[in-house]
Amino acid sequence: MGRAGAAAVIPGLALLWAVGLGSAAPSPPRLRLSFQELQAWHGLQTFSLERTCCYQALLVDEERGRLFVGAENHVASLNLDNISKRAKKLAWPAPVEWREECNWAGKDIGTECMNFVKLLHAYNRTHLLACGTGAFHPTCAFVEVGHRAEEPVLRLDPGRIEDGKGKSPYDPRHRAASVLVGEELYSGVAADLMGRDFTIFRSLGQRPSLRTEP
Ligand SMILES: *[C@@H]1O[C@H](CO)[C@@H](O)[C@H](O)[C@H]1NC(C)=O
Ligand SMILES: *[C@@H]1O[C@H](CO)[C@@H](O)[C@H](O)[C@H]1NC(C)=O
């Protein structure tokens, strides 16, 4: 066996050994940079929205040169070349009634009874599909983003608000895994308020909604 062969076998054995011990730790990265180091090198541009948090949904749109961001009560559209330039934001809070209901149910009005945007998908040539927790009242909407890169648009389509149950989680602490196939959304979420019933849902599109059995 040549040297290369032997070299290949040894890491293989080391890996088996590590798996055998139940501790297959990922190899450490060769280069580790702290946030401060990145900032010091000017290679980093930061963006944050006022009075919001939790940038949980990100969608890169290379065609329009935008990065769409779903956050607490907001959707933002950033310029991919320079995120400080011509950033747009859209406020999408939960209605007061939903926030009050959420508060009566014992949730915190200031931290939980908000619309945390969890899902962003490119729906068609002009619109995104966005879904959020809606203060424990999951909701989805279509966001108009326009046709062209030169004229960034960001507008909620008031004519079409969809029920977001089975699409977005209720609880801001929960995540959703989702994919849009044509006009159909497949979403893996906790489908109940308590976060115990995890299912995969198929919704939107022409066919009836469907979910996996509990
Ligand atoms: C990004 O845009 C901001 C605001 O227009 C500008 O001040 C800054 O110099 C730009 N940065 C780069 C790297 O072009
Ligand atoms: C995209 O979808 C939205 C929401 O259903 C609709 O209003 C709009 O007309 C559609 N645009 C195109 C180009 O199909």
Q: What is the residue extent of each domain of the chain?
A: 54-211
pLDDT single digits (tens) 45-68: 778 888 888 898 999 999 889 999
**Which residue out of 63, 64, 126 has the highest number of ligand 2 atoms within 8 Å of its CB and is therefore the one to mutate?**
126
Cα–Cα distance, 120 to 145 (Å, whole number): 12
Q: Does residue 7 register a pLDDT over 60?
A: no
| Lowest-pLDDT choice from 111-115, 125-129, 130-134, 147-151 | 147-151
Which residue's alpha carbon is nearest to atom 11 within ligand 2? 126
Q: Does residue 183 register a pLDDT over 50?
A: yes
The more confidently predicted of residues 119 and 2 is 119
Tell me the CA distances in angstroms from 142 to 12, 36, 42, 66, one per residue in order: 50, 38, 36, 17
Query: Mean of the pLDDT values across residues 95-122?
Result: 96
**Which residue out of 79, 82, 88 has the highest number of ligand 1 atoms within 8 Å of its CB and is therefore the one to mutate?**
82
> Rounded to the nearest whole angstrom, what is the distance from the C-alpha of residue 86 to the centroid of ligand 1?
10
- Give the pair of three-digit tokens for residue 192: 């109940």
Q: Does residue 111 register a pLDDT over 80?
A: yes
Which residue's alpha carbon is nearest to atom 4 within ligand 2? 142
- Give the pair of three-digit tokens for residue 115: 């619309």
Report yes or no on whether pTM surpasses 0.85. no
165, 119 in Cβ contact below 8 A?
no
Query: Mean of the pLDDT values across residues 162-191?
Result: 94
Cα–Cα distance, 115 to 139 (Å, whole number): 9
The predicted pLDDT at position 23 comes to 53
Cα–Cα distance, 184 to 186 (Å, whole number): 7
Give residue ranges with CB within 6 A of ligand 2: 123-127, 142, 157, 160
Ligand nearest to C-alpha 158: 2
User: Mapping DSSP to helix (H, G, I), strand (E, B) and coil, where does residue 26 land?
Assistant: coil
The predicted pLDDT at position 29 comes to 77
